[in-house]
């Protein structure tokens, strides 16, 4: 970064500080990851200089020979990776991708049915504070309070009662796999479009560690920056019969020109996801989550649904006498970065809820294994017993940095 360092030393110092931070802390945010050097290079390439409204071969600007090639490459790789009939790689991020799906299939006031936000759903699945909850009639299903699992009988009952235009499967904080055949059957029975939002677990699908929703769903959206380990962006995968409606909803419906440098970085991230090593990455991500979950349960942590079979865990801290916010702040001081989160049956406010969410995509990208998962559980336990003891938190932070120093950071080292 020789130009940045000489021309804007103030910003350069911030980039360096963030690099050091990402090296010396343990990143347990379930939605974050480390991209490769190749993805970083493509993200910062000259494709950032281009405007390309339209689609390959049908642009509203001249000079698209290379942009068309890049977008076609990203589309072909995504089709191959997920077995999709049609792919749109232009959505700016996961939320706009979801808006495009509603724009393609719904009129204002139409009914959608998705997972409750406080049970692991996403804002864009019809939360009251989201445009999706204001402009559409959103109905929500919940987790079973006893098991912490999806209740497919309840989903079916709500679907038949409310007859949603769109049935949504997918989540930001559900630690279990989804049964897409069951969702498909419910959608067929009530005449809904089945929309799967695999933003969180797309990398596990790509690596064969989670069932693939693409054969079942009318339309699937995903971010590219979570378990998929690409740049910040999104894709929509759909059946050929919906291709026109989806493409029109993205452009000109919602967006102007695509971010071509992001498209380039998505293309190269998809190349990585097609390699045999990515299967190992996906399997290790789940294995690490399960080792960490077991180590936390052993220490008395209350995991929603009792454990995990994907990359994430949701912990209800009510039995630990500490709120999610207080826990997350103390853990950050100890060098363990995660987020506070609402839990099913939440009784506190969203800005200081009862739980924390954590995941293993980043630490697995870094090469952490079972031994490191045991250490993380031990550090989390010690931290929550000393949330007000600054000296104890600093001591844990030193131990965390010492471990991190032994593991190179993808894209940086
Ligand atoms: C992260 C996420 C999104 C939104 O992604 P952004 O890129 O932050 O807009 C959408 N849906 C689900 C389920 C997610 O987890």
pLDDT in tens, 362-403: 999 999 999 999 999 999 999 999 999 999 999 999 999 999
285 and 268 fall within a common domain:
no
267 and 287 fall within a common domain:
no
CA of 95 to the centre of ligand 1 (A): 6
Tokens linked to 9: 């030393």
Active site residue 232: yes
218 and 255 fall within a common domain:
yes
Q: Which domain holds residue 234?
A: 40-273
Q: What is the pLDDT of residue 356?
A: 97
266 and 391 fall within a common domain:
no
Domain C-terminal end among 219, 253, 273: 273
pLDDT digits (tens, 9 = 90+) for 163-178: 999 999 999 999 999 9
Which of 232, 325, 348, 375 is flagged as catalytic? 232
Q: CB neighbours (10 Å) of residue 352?
A: 12
90 and 188 fall within a common domain:
yes
CATH number, domain containing residue 327: 3.90.1150.10
Asked if the model's pLDDT at residue 190 lies above 90, the reply is yes
Instruction: For ligand 1, say whether the CB of 223 is within 6 Å of any of its atoms.
Output: yes
Domain C-terminal end among 236, 255, 273: 273
Domain C-terminal end among 249, 273, 297: 273
**Per-residue three-class SS string for 146-162:** CCCCECHHHHHHHHHHH
291 and 253 fall within a common domain:
no
Asked if the model's pLDDT at residue 1 lies above 90, the reply is no
Distance CA 296, CA 307 (A): 9
Instruction: For ligand 1, say whether the CB of 372 is within 6 Å of any of its atoms.
Output: no
Instruction: For ligand 1, say whether the CB of 341 is within 6 Å of any of its atoms.
Output: no
Instruction: For ligand 1, say whether the CB of 32 is within 6 Å of any of its atoms.
Output: no
Distance CA 115, CA 178 (A): 12
pLDDT digits (tens, 9 = 90+) for 299-338: 999 999 999 999 999 999 999 999 999 999 999 999 999 9
Domains: count for the chain: 2
pTM of the model: 0.97
CATH number, domain containing residue 223: 3.40.640.10
CA of 225 to the centre of ligand 1 (A): 10
265 and 312 fall within a common domain:
no
In a domain, 319, yes or no: yes
């Amino acid at each position: 970064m020789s130009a940045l360092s000489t021309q804007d030393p103030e910003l350069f110092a911030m980039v360096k500080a963030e690099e050091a931070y990402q090296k010396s802390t343990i990143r347990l945010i379930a939605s974050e990851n480390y991209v490769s050097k190749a993805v970083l290079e493509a993200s910062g390439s000259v494709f950032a200089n281009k405007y390309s409204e339209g689609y390959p071969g049908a642009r509203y600007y001249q000079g698209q020979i290379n942009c068309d090639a890049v977008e076609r490459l990203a589309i072909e790789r995504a089709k191959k990776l997920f077995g999709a009939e049609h792919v749109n790689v232009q959505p700016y991020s996961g939320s706009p991708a979801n808006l495009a799906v509603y724009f393609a299939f719904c009129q204002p006031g139409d009914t959608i049915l998705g997972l409750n936000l406080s049970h692991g759903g996403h804002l864009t699945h019809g939360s009251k504070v989201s445009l999706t909850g204001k402009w559409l009639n959103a109905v929500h299903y919940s987790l079973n309070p006893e098991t912490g699992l999806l209740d497919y009988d309840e989903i079916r009952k709500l679907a038949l009662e409310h007859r949603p235009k769109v049935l949504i499967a997918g989540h930001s904080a559900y630690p279990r796999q989804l049964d897409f055949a069951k969702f498909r059957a419910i959608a067929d029975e009530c005449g809904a479009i089945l929309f799967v939002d695999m933003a969180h677990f797309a990398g596990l699908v790509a690596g064969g560690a989670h069932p693939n929703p693409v054969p079942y769903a009318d339309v699937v959206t995903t971010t590219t920056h979570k378990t998929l380990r690409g740049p910040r962006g999104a894709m929509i995968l759909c059946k050929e019969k919906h291709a026109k409606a989806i493409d029109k909803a993205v452009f000109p419906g919602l967006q102007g020109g695509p971010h071509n440098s992001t498209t380039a970085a998505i293309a190269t991230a998809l190349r990585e996801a097609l390699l045999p090593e990515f299967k190992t990455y996906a399997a290790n991500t789940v294995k690490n989550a399960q080792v960490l979950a077991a180590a936390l349960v052993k220490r008395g942590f209350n995991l929603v649904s009792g454990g995990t079979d994907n990359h994430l865990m949701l912990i209800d801290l009510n039995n630990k006498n500490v709120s999610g916010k207080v826990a997350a702040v103390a853990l950050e001081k100890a060098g363990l970065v995660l987020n506070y989160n609402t839990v099913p049956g939440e009784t506190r406010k969203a800005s200081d809820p009862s739980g924390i969410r954590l995941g293993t995509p980043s630490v697995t990208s870094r090469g952490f294994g079972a031994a490191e998962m045991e250490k993380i559980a031990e550090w989390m336990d010690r931290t929550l017993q000393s949330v007000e003891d600054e000296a104890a938190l600093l001591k844990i932070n030193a131990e965390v940095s010492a471990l991190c120093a032994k593991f190179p950071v993808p894209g940086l080292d």
